[in-house]
Amino acid sequence: MMKRFGHRLMQQGTVLLRGEAATASENAGWMSVGFGGLNARMASSHAENTNQFISEALEHLEYPERLQKMLLAPEREVSVELEVLRDSGEVDIYKAYRVQHCNSRGPYKGGLRYHPQVDLDDVRSLASLMTWKTAVMDIPFGGAKGGITVDPTTLSDREAEILTRKLVQALRPVLGTYEDIPAPDMNTGGREMAWLFDEYSKFNGFSPGIVTGKPVWLHGSLGREAATGRGTVFAIREALRALKLGEIKDKTFVIQGFGNVGSWAAQILHEQGGKVIAVADAFGAIANERGLDIPSLRRHIGDQHSLASYPDGIAVPKETILTVPCDVLIPAALGGVITEENVNDIQCKMIAEAANGPTTFEADLMLREKGVTVVPDIYTNGGGVTVSFFEWVQNLQNFKWTEDEVNEKLDVCMTNSFRDIWEICESDKLPLRTAAFAKALQRVTRAKVHRGFE
């Protein structure tokens, strides 16, 4: 049975995208992940897709043009150049960006990513997404994003630290505990956030609330590491119930990306009785139609073995992962991986977007025609920014919550947010994504209008 399953997947690999795999990373996992289809992602601008989804919601809400301009334009864009003395004695200059999209509902909030493909267009789009994500989750933050155009694998630890501290020095005038609060993103994590916290505190005094995603032992929050993956599971649970498809137990799941988000989502789904039948990372994929033993698989990878070498499964081409038949497909790595070219090969009842922007606008329209429900990224992966908010609150209080408290509060936020989206979805007969953007736009608009324009 297993051999037939693996053979079927091997055959599917011949009809999918043949683009070369490239290195990127998971937005909350700080692990490099690369998949076929990157060429499609590069061709389809993040900003273009985001604006098309927002335009759908704006059209439904029938907002006047003056409101649309006010909602879509970023409030500040900062570009800086950072000079770093390399270990070799050479001086390199790196471009860095911070886009602050909207702070009507609270301080700007958004991650910092280190990646060679970071540019202003990407950062601008992701800043906008953060505005809508915090609004959908109904937490009192706005939206921002930042990054450095650098391949972090080329930096020594000393060079990475200097680059991070230089970034803080350059952006210090626009950052602040109540102004703009960065967080980890692609290829950054607790280490970089600790450097950022320390460098900012040199100039402004003890300021743990300047950044979230810090190590737990350095004013970070319990539950933060698993937050995006756990929130993804809560999102799936609520969507299954709303669609009257039952519970997570005995459902089949396929996960593209096995970094922080993908591995935690798999672990929690496994604990709740779900069957994770296939997973992929940058280097390979593994499948078992009876369900993978996720704790064992995570130990296998933790012992520095490759995912594809896991003995209790069949190694399959990573390019086939999106087409494995399942109940729920979870893209948890790159953006733009579900496209017009491969959407007809997808065989699932639901897609839960744990990654940022995994589905292009054209593919999203085709999925609607196929009757595949898409639980959108601005809600599905909102667990990360929600627990970032919890960390910020704890820092302001100088008080630490228990992990159970954090997880319970996250459950409440994810449940309430889905309820609000589903109400619009049902009453206005909209797809979940359009309903989510509509709810976010309503909340941001209300804040902007009531605060005034002076």
3-state SS of the chain is: CHHHHHHHHHHHHHHCCCCCCCCEECCCCCCEECCCCHHHHHHCCHHHHHHHHHHHHHHHHCCCHHHHHHHHCCCEEEEEEEEEECCCCCEEEEEEEEEEEECCCCCEEEEEEEECCCCHHHHHHHHHHHHHHHHHCCCCCCEEEEEEECCHHHCCHHHHHHHHHHHHHHHHHHCECCCEEEEECCCCCHHHHHHHHHHHHHHHCCCHHHCCCCCHHHCCCCCCCCHHHHHHHHHHHHHHHHCCCCCCCCCEEEEECCCHHHHHHHHHHHHCCCEEEEEECCCCEEECCCCCCHHHHHHHHHCCCCHHHCCCCEEECHHHHHHCCCCEEEECCCCCCECCCCHHHCCCCEEECCCCCCECHHHHHHHHHHCCEEECHHHHCCHHHHHHHHHHHHHHHCCCCCHHHHHHHHHHHHHHHHHHHHHHHHHHCCCHHHHHHHHHHHHHHHHHHHHCCC
Neighbours of 423 (CB within 10 A): 12
Q: CA-to-CA distance for 440 and 434, rounded, in angstroms?
A: 10
CA nearest to 228, candidates 106, 121, 333: 333
Q: Which residue has 């703009």 as its token pair? A: 180
- 301-310 burial: b if 16+ Cβ within 10 Å, else e: eeeeeebbeb
Contacts 24+ apart (CB under 8 A), 272-276: 272/233, 272/248, 273/247, 273/248, 273/249, 274/248, 274/249, 274/250, 275/250, 275/251, 276/252
Q: Which of 145, 251, 275, 439 is catalytic?
A: 145
Catalytic-residue membership of 448: no
Rounded to a whole number of angstroms, the distance between the first and last alpha carbons of the chain is 68
As annotated, the active-site residues are: 145
